[in-house]
Amino acid sequence: MRILLIFSLLAFMTGCVTSFIVTGYSGGTVIIYCYYNIEEKSNGKYFCMGQNSLSCEEKIRTRNTSREWNHRGRVSLFDNTGGNYIMVVIRQLTREDEGTYWCGVDKPDVPDSYTKVELEVKEDKCCLKSVRETLYLGGDFPLICNYPEKYDNSTKYFCKEDNDLNTCYYIISAFYDSESAKAKRFSLTDNKTEKSFTVTFSNLTEYDTGTYWCGVQNRTKDVLHYFSLITEVHLSVIDSTPASAPSATSHNTFGTLVVITVILVVVLFTLIFYIFYKRKCNTLQELISSSRHTSGISNTQPGNSEDMRALNTQLGNSEDMRALNTQPGNNEEMRAANQDPTYQTLSNSTNQDSIYQTLKSNSANQYSIYQTLKSNSANQDSIYQTLKSNSANRDSIYQTLKPNSAN
C-alpha cells in the first residue's frame, strides 16, 4: 500500500510521462516527435537532457506559441499546435549525444508533463555517411540508399534538407508493407534482400540541386516516434549543352591559336638553325686562320733552309774566307787564336732549332773584326738583328755574338 502511494505521488509531482527509444547513427540526424494534450497547445515547450526531469539541462525552448522553428546549435525545435506535437531535430550525431532526454510542457499551476526519450547513437558499416554526385539536366538518376537490418520492416524515407529552416522536407516514402512508391518525378523501390532502397530522379532540373537524406521511419501502430536520417546526399545538376555543342566563335578562336602556334614554332626553329650555322662558320674560320698562322711561324723559325743559305751568304762564302786568309800574320795569329780563343762561350738556350744562342768573347785579341753581334729588335724572324762593335780593334774577327731573343 505504501509503495503504491509513493508511485502515485511521484506521478503527480512529475506529471504524465510516456517514453520510447530513438536510434540514431554517427554523423546522421534524428527527428523526434513528442505529443501533448490539446489543452496544452498554448503552453511553452522545451527539450532537456538528464536522468531526472526536474534537474535536466535545457537544450532548447520555444520563444512563443506561434508556428516557427527555434534553433540552438545542432538542435532545432518546432511546435506544431495543429497536430499537438513538437518536433526536435538533432544533427551531426556523435556518441556523446547518447543519453536520456525529456520533451517538456510548461504548466504554471501544476507539475509539467513530460515525454521521456532514450537516445542511442550507433556506428554501422552498412551505410555511407555522405555521397556526392554531379548530374546533367534532363537526365535520370537512380540513387541507392542502404539501411541497417533492423529496419527491414520499417518505412523507408527520403527528404530534402532546407538550409534556411534547418529541417528536412518529405519527398517520398514507402511503407513497411509496400515495396515501391511513386511521387511526381520520383520513384522508390525497396529491396529487402539487399537491405537497400533505390530512389530514381526523372527528367532532372536545376531545382534538384541540393542536399538530401536517406532514412527510415519508426512508429508504433499509428503513432510516429522518430525518423533516423542515415546517409547525406549532395546532388549538383549542371547544364551539359556548352560542353557538347561548342559555338562557332570557339572554333574560330581555336583555329587562330593553332596558326599562331605553328608560326611561332617555325620562327623558333629558324632562329635556332641560324645560330648554329653562324657558330659553325665562325669555328671553321678560326681553324683556317690558326692553320695559316702556324704555317707562317714554321717557315720563319731559325735553322730552316732559307736561314742556312742566308748564313752561308753572310759568313761562309769563299770570298770572305779568302779575305780572311789574306790578313797579315795569318798563320801565326791563327795559332795564337788557339792560345787565346776567339770564341770563349757557345751556349744553347731554349730553342733547339737555332744555330747559336750565345756567342761571347772573353779575349782581348786585337785582331777581332767584330766585338759584338747583339739583337735589340722585337722581330723574331730575322737571324741577326744588330751588328755592333764595341772593340777598338777593327781587325778582330768576332768578339761577341749574343742574341737577346729566345728565337
**DSSP calls for 27-64:** T-EEEEEEE--GGGTTS-EEEEESSSGGGPEEEEE-SS
Half-sphere exposure of 57 (CA within 13 A, CB side): 6
Instruction: Kindly report, residue by residue over 323-375, the tens digit of the pLDDT.
Output: 444 444 444 444 444 444 444 444 444 444 443 444 444 444 444 444 444 44
Would you say 89 and 103 are in contact if contact means Cβ atoms under 8 Å apart? no
**For residue 66, what pLDDT is reported?**
65
**Res 295: pLDDT:** 56
The top-scoring range by mean pLDDT among 45-49, 284-288, 367-371, 380-384 is: 45-49
- DSSP E strands in 137-203: the ranges are 141-146, 155-162, 167-174, 180-183, 186-191, 196-201
Determine the residue type at 308. M
How many Cβ atoms sit within 10 Å of the Cβ of residue 170?
11
**Per-residue pLDDT reduced to its tens digit, 395-407:** 444 444 444 444 4
User: Greater confidence, 305 or 29?
Assistant: 29
Q: What's the pLDDT band for 196 if we cut at 50, 70, 90?
A: very high
For residue 131, list its beta bridge partners: 233
Pair 127, 195: CB distance under 8 Å: no
| Residue given cell 549538383 in the structure block | 236
Report the pLDDT value the prediction gives residue 371, as an integer from 0 to 100. 45
What residues pair up with 117 in beta bridges, in sequence order? 20, 101
Other residues' Cβ atoms within 10 Å of the Cβ of residue 107: 13
Count CB-CB contacts under 10 A for residue 162.
Answer: 13
CA separation for the pair 334, 329 (Å, rounded): 8
* Contact assessment for residue 34 and residue 88, using Cβ atoms and an 8 Å cutoff: yes
Cα angle 357, 348, 379; round to 5: 30
- CA-to-CA distance for 315 and 354, rounded, in angstroms? 16
The CA distances from residue 310 to 19, 58, 353, 376, 407, in Å, are 137, 128, 15, 20, 16
Selection from 106, 104, 93 nearest residue 18 by Cα: 104
Q: Parallel, antiparallel, or unpaired: how do β-strands 196-201 and 141-146 relate?
A: antiparallel
Closest CA to 128 of 211, 27, 236: 27
Determine contact, residues 131/155, Cβ cutoff 8 Å.
no
pLDDT at 328: 45
The predicted-structure confidence for 46-99, as pLDDT tens digits, reads as follows 999 999 988 899 999 998 666 788 999 999 999 999 999 999 999 999 999 999
Return the higher-pLDDT residue of 154 and 317.
154
Strands 85-90 and 75-80: antiparallel
End-to-end CA distance of the chain: 144
How many angstroms separate the Cα of 231 from the Cα of each of 130, 145, 196, 291, 335?
5, 7, 12, 87, 132
Task: Provide the pLDDT for residue 124.
Answer: 86
Residue 384 CA to residue 21 CA, distance in Å, equals 127
Q: What is the SS3 assignment for 180?
A: strand
What CA–CA distance (Å, rounded) separates 140 from 212? 16
Tell whether the model's pLDDT for residue 106 goes beyond 70. Answer: yes
pLDDT at 314 > cutoff 60: no
